[in-house]
A and B are shown apart, each in its own frame.
Chain A
């Protein structure tokens, strides 16, 4: 089983590594780091703060957009180009195929997050800013955010076109990211809007759990520049993300299992 899943994952990694737009995204992230360097110099003795904020935002934004891009295209093109015909007629289960595709994508995204993170760390080192455990925790959270978004994209891609999947995945990510703000904003709204928002927030993954810097948790301010969340929070958030990933991939596998490949 693992051999077959690994074969698909390895092939997906090869496929994704050939997508040129990924290199463009890499350039964008490096560009955003350079921008942070310039903005840091313009700030009042806070170059490290600017570098961390811009760097983490870049990883979250570009990492998630990359996850959506890969998620909506890599599975869909297998069906559209019929490359899948020569694969699932071999003794591999359809769920193994879906899991393999996700794992291949996860490896690509992990490499991207690692490169983005290293670029940020290198920039901080250039500025002489010390590294903190908070930064490490924030990077791990961003990594899981990207992996969760990839699962969201694959889930939609299992039954929809890339365009619609992209829109659905983007909307789900944005709603999940803004969940606490949406809940707070609609508290004074009409019952219909409040209940609709509540339902929407219940059914989308809690991506906001991965972006806690600048928020207040249990009445205490959390910041990657100061008091950040403990490792136990990171473990719980990642566990929560993992639960969503498993559920979304399982659902995608069920949809895939029922499909005809004409």
Chain B
């Protein structure tokens, strides 16, 4: 218990629509835990409940039922909020402030003394590459710069737990890499990082554990390696036809998946039970030079698609993988 940064039990959130009073179940009894010092990824399709979960954890939304603690304190408590840094989804800050003033405001709310506020703000602004934009109002910031300003204000209290709602949203590849590196750096400093995203490659690359949420229910929680199936899903093969016509490709592609031909190169995936040796022999006979042969295992994306599709079937609802 003491090693848990987040502990969530049967968290439920039910709304009623304004006029029709129709019940909408945004969260349906989700339970999960995040260990201290881990990077925890939260993934799900649009409207799955990622942001509702995060806003509930941050005290912006009151749960209808269930309990949750942050660093051992009830969600929404001042003690919890004092030790957590939060970046909202699509952050909108007071656009008349500059990034230094935004950090100063955050520091004041955390009760930091003036000298410490100044020191931390300067360090974070430089670290997040906003030094040149220091005097500019936030309304002149690009989306990526705003995201970085949001990260700066979230880290002003040197938090033990950092909660980031879609931190890579709207960032270019370089910006995404910078955020990924920052998340890893925060973990190296001993902090716990929880973030939601649509970008599965990011989750696979940096998370210790991941949760997949669909329609307000957790579909899977675990390490990326544990969640994906270890069994062989197929064999990826790339061959080259230096003197090829269109004929051999059509014959060789029979029964294969993900067939792609670029120039003289043919890439495809054979089923897991296919006779790879026989296929390669046929390809060589047709004049192919083998470039690569690699086993294909299930990816997080495959798992995600499978779980989302499974959630559409009533029988699959409520099943949570270990």
- A-side interface residues toward B, CB under 8 Å? 3-4, 6-7, 11, 14-15, 18, 81-83, 85-93, 260-262
Contacts and interface: CB of A to CB of B under 8 A. Distances in A.
A83 B60 contact: no
Given A4-B108, A81-B92, A91 B82 contact: yes
B196 interface: no
Interface of A is mostly: loop
Contacts of B110: 90-91
A83 B93 contact: yes
Pairs A-B, 9 closest by C-beta atoms: A7-B108, A90-B109, A85-B88, A91-B82, A261-B60, A89-B86, A91-B78, A91-B81, A260-B61
Contacts of A83: 92-94
A93 B55 CA distance: 16
A18 B154 CA distance: 25
Contacts of A85: 55, 58, 60, 86, 88, 91
B313 to A, nearest CB: 29
A89 B165 CA distance: 13
B74 interface: no
Interface string B297-320: 000000000000000000000000
Interface of B: 52, 55, 58-62, 78-79, 81-82, 84, 86, 88, 90-94, 96-97, 105-106, 108-111, 150, 153-154, 157
Contacts of B93: 83, 86
Contacts of A262: 52, 55, 60-61
B109 A82 contact: no
B94 A93 contact: no
12 contacts: A7-B108, A82-B90, A82-B92, A83-B92, A85-B86, A86-B91, A89-B60, A89-B84, A91-B110, A93-B78, A260-B62, A262-B60
Given A83-B93, A83-B94, A89 B59 contact: yes
A78 to B, nearest CB: 9
Given A11-B97, A83-B92, A90-B81, 5 more contacts: A83-B93, A86-B86, A86-B93, A89-B88, A91-B81
Nearest to B157: A90
Nearest to A260: B61
Given A11-B94, A86-B150, A91-B82, A3 B59 contact: no
A3 B108 contact: yes
A210 to B, nearest CB: 33
Contacts of B58: 85, 89
Contacts of B59: 88-89
Contacts of B88: 82, 85-86, 89
Given A7-B109, A82-B88, A261-B55, A88 B60 contact: yes
